Amino acid sequence: MESFELYLFDAAYLAYTASMAAYLVSAFRKKESLGKAAFYLAAFGALLHLADLGLRAYIGRVSHNLPHYVPWSNWFESFSLFAFAIAVTFIGVQRMTRLSILGAFVMTLQWIIVTFSMTYPLFGSWDQVAGASQAWQAVMASRAIPQLMPALQSIWMAIHVPVMFTSYSAFAVAFAVGIVYLIQERELKSKHPGELSDSLPALEILDLMIYRLIGWGFPLLTLGVILGARWAYDAWGRYWGWDAKETWALITWFTYAIYLHMRLVMSWRGRKTVLLSIFAFGVVLFTYIGVNYLSELHGFLSNRGS
């Protein structure tokens, strides 16, 4: 059964890869049929990914006798969940907007994250890996069902992390749309805009899309921070301790709050808010990844993935 779970994840990864490739080719060759195929590949990959998460949860709880296990309990699983959330968010956006050109950017970002989920062990121990066989062993070891530390054996693990990653996925798609905005802006200002400019949406549409994505993700981020504080109370007996992880989670919240304030109250539009949204996603990535290398108190919880 565990071997089948690995095959399911690999099949989802292949579907995502094919979707990204189809979106990239469609973007430059302007083939609508290829864009539709890319969308269905992304949806198929997400379905396989969902099945993998469900089977992984079953294996952890039944075969490994981990009653509180959820399939986002270590680095590999958290990156996997993040990639899945981005895929689902993009599928929803694509269904509403019918802008397949966005897939070339969003699915590329999603593919990078799902690829990193499998290869991250090599980045931290590259000098200790001798040959392809050891590299493969390190990758496969990272995909094993983890043993849960006491603080991870909590109902809050099943609630807090998915809420956070759902918000992160909205911010990730907003980031990708922001890159599209900057490319289109540059094309429009160019004396000789390329053919890609004709395929990209108007700047006003992209700006509004970023705002709506952040407007959707921000309440979830707020809820996730509150749930994290409640989890901290169960784990350490206090709601807030101002350690690095908690502090940067709050910085992330304030960064997106500033974006919404500047847009709604100060009437910012266009390039300024787009750049702010891109910067804010950089803060998300630092909160998610970078802080784990700085936080001592969260050291044993660095795999909680939020």
At 85, is the pLDDT very low, low, confident or very high (cuts 50, 70, 90)? very high
Nearest Cα to Cα of residue 27 among 93, 19, 191, 209: 19
What pLDDT is recorded for position 39?
A: 96
Q: Which two tokens stand for residue 174?
A: 């907003």
User: Is residue 303 predicted with pLDDT exceeding 50?
Assistant: no
DSSP label at residue 304: G
User: Is residue 126 predicted with pLDDT exceeding 80?
Assistant: no
Nearest-angstrom CA–CA distance, 34 and 6: 29
Average pLDDT over residues 178-185: 95
Higher pLDDT, 140 or 35: 35
H-helix segments, 30-127? 32-58, 75-97, 103-124
Q: Residue 215: helix, strand or coil by DSSP?
A: helix
What pLDDT is recorded for position 167?
A: 97
DSSP states of 257-295 = HHHHHHHHTS---THHHHHHHHHHHHHHHHHHTGGGGT-
User: Is residue 194 predicted with pLDDT exceeding 50?
Assistant: yes
Average pLDDT over residues 81-90: 97
Region of poorest pLDDT, from 87-101, 172-186, 189-203: 189-203
What pLDDT is recorded for position 301?
A: 44
**Are residues 118 and 75 in contact, defined by beta-carbon separation less than 8 angstroms?**
no
User: Is residue 1 predicted with pLDDT exceeding 90?
Assistant: no
Nearest-angstrom CA–CA distance, 12 and 44: 8
DSSP label at residue 202: P
Residue bearing tokens 């050291």 = 299
Region of poorest pLDDT, from 13-27, 50-64, 168-182, 187-201: 187-201
**Are residues 138 and 129 in contact, defined by beta-carbon separation less than 8 angstroms?**
yes
User: Is residue 304 predicted with pLDDT exceeding 90?
Assistant: no
Sign for the CA dihedral angle at 162, 163, 167, 168 comes to negative
Higher pLDDT, 116 or 84: 84
Nearest Cα to Cα of residue 145 among 248, 18, 59: 59
pLDDT 10s digits, 165-181: 999 999 999 999 999 99
Nearest Cα to Cα of residue 158 among 242, 76, 230, 89: 230
Helix H, strand E, coil C: the string for 100-155 is: HHHHHHHHHHHHHHHHHHHHHHHHHCHHHCCHHHHHHHHHHHHCCCCCCCHHHCCH
